Amino acid sequence: MPPAKPVPTGPRAASRPTLRDVARTLGVSVATVSNAYNRPDQLSEDLRGRILAAARDLGYQGPDPLARSLRRGRTGVLGVVYDAPLDYAFADPAAALFLGSVTRAVHDRDLNVLLLAAPHDPQADATLAVRNASVDGFIVYCAAEGSPLLRAVLDRALPTVLVDQDPQGGSAHVGIDDAGGAQAAAAHLLDLGHRQLGALCLELAGDRHPGPVSAARETQVAYRTTAQRIRGYRAATAGHPDAALHLMEAGQNTPADGEALTLDLLRAHPEVTGVVCMSDVLAQGALRAAATLGLRVPGDLSVIGYDDLPSSGALNLTTVWQPTPDKGAAVGAAILDLLDGQEPAPVTLPTRLVVRGSTAPPRSPAAPTA
């Protein structure tokens, strides 16, 4: 005797109706109902109308996105990967602005963005989210050299674009002229006559190591952006044998860290008259520190940022502008190319020094206060 065919479970409970349910109530095939949604030209207007009506009556919401993605082999989702907890990342408006410009670029093709980030808990498996993400491609925004997260992304072997990172593993690359911008910033201060400079750096590596940067540490920078900008600062000072550059590393990219770092810097090196910062957010902290110490900007201390945030206009902050909207557009274009099977050319976008009111020649050393 053949094994009894399992009895179908009759009309299912209050569960969501499926394509099959609406097919059954009309006595048509599921293929036809599917066509009613996806290929209106494949069935008569009349039947299509009846199907859509029946669907409405049943409370059917249209084809399940998940099942559709599985069958079609595309999800319509791009993973944007930050190698840091997201609330840290978004403490910098520049990160958010970039994200906005990326989504703008990919929305036209009906792609959405899934946020993937490192967990807060350092014990937790950082790669889990990346490994379990249902996406058509990745955009990696900020990852240290050799980070597990980055490796997990590359392992997925999906279309991937690396932002501000050394190209590797067959992925596309978009970046800015980090070194050039930094060099311009430091050169600006040197041209004004400053010789004792401080630099507020973003993290050099994923380990938390805030404070003065040792020569040893400076040789092993994991983040490309940080490495390039240090290179720029160094290149500028190299032209002035009498110039000194004191590097400070931030634990987090926040005004609070920038303020603390500046206080430390000026305590250790009171001779410093100009500070270059790797972000406007850090520069905001430097401005606060100056206010705390009763130093006038730019009279007693010159400050330069990096990014040119919208708020930096109101702060009258001299800074290095970068083309955030273009960057997002370039990233979007690159990932779309990859999805289309084409190989996009690497992109490096320009930066530009924006001189505002937070920089001026140093007070001459011997001059009396005020």
Partner DNA sequence: GACCCGATCTGAATCGTTTCAGATTGCTGA
Partner DNA sequence: TCAGCAATCTGAAACGATTCAGATCGGGTC
**CA distances, 197 to each of 34, 258, 284, 287 (Å):** 67, 15, 17, 15
112 binds its own copies (CB under 8 A): yes
Neighbours of 350 (CB within 10 A): 12
Per the structure block, which two tokens stand in for 344? 């996009």
* Binding flag, residue 287, its own copies (CB under 8 A): yes
Q: Rounded CA gap, 328 and 104, in Å?
A: 8
Binding its own copies by CB under 8 A: which of 41, 108, 207, 343? 108
Residues 138-177 that bind its own copies (CB under 8 A): 155-157
CA distance 237 to 186: 7
Select 49 or 310, whichever has its Cβ closest to DNA: 49
113 lies in the site for its own copies, by CB under 8 A: yes
| Continuous segment of H or E residues that includes residue 298 | none
Under the binding rule (CB under 8 A), the answer on residue 96 touching its own copies is yes
How many residues bind its own copies (CB under 8 A)? The answer is: 66
CA dist 128 and 119 (Å) reads 10
Token code pair at residue 339: 């999805």
Buried b (16+ CB within 10 A) or exposed e, 294-310: ebebbebbbbbbbbbbe
Do the Cβ atoms of 253 and 91 come closer than 8 Å?
yes
Site string for DNA, 61-100 (x = CB under 7 A): -xxx-xxx-xxxx---------------------------
b (16+ CB within 10 A) / e for 312-330: beebebbbbbbbbebbbbb
| 17-46 positions binding DNA, by CB under 7 A | 18-20, 27-32, 34-35, 37-38, 41-44, 46
Work out which of 20, 107, 208, 296 binds its own copies, going by CB under 8 A: 107
- What does 128 bind: DNA, its own copies, none (CB cut-off 5 to 8 Å by kind)? its own copies
Stretch touching its own copies by CB under 8 A, among 63-71, 175-183, 190-198, 224-232:
63-71
The answer to whether the Cα torsion of 302, 177, 96, 133 is positive or negative is negative
Q: In terms of CB distance, is 113 or 263 closer to its own copies?
A: 113
Q: Indicate which of its own copies, DNA, none lies near residue 121 (CB less than 5 to 8 Å, by partner kind).
A: its own copies
Per CB under 7 A, 107 contacts DNA: no
Which residue is associated with the tokens 């920038």?
Answer: 258
Report the distance separating Cα 272 and Cα 243, nearest Å.
11
Of its own copies, DNA, none, which one sits near residue 325, judging by CB under 5 to 8 A according to partner kind?
its own copies
Strand bridging mode 77-82 / 347-349: unpaired
34 binds, among its own copies, DNA, none (CB under 5 to 8 A by kind): DNA
User: Which residues contribute to the site for its own copies (CB under 8 A)?
Assistant: 61-62, 65-70, 75-77, 85-91, 93, 95-97, 99-101, 103-104, 107-108, 110, 112-117, 119-121, 128-129, 131-134, 155-157, 254-256, 281, 284-285, 287-288, 291, 309-311, 313-316, 325, 328
User: Which residues contribute to the site for DNA (CB under 7 A)?
Assistant: 5-6, 8-9, 12, 15-16, 18-20, 27-32, 34-35, 37-38, 41-44, 46-47, 60, 62-64, 66-68, 70-73
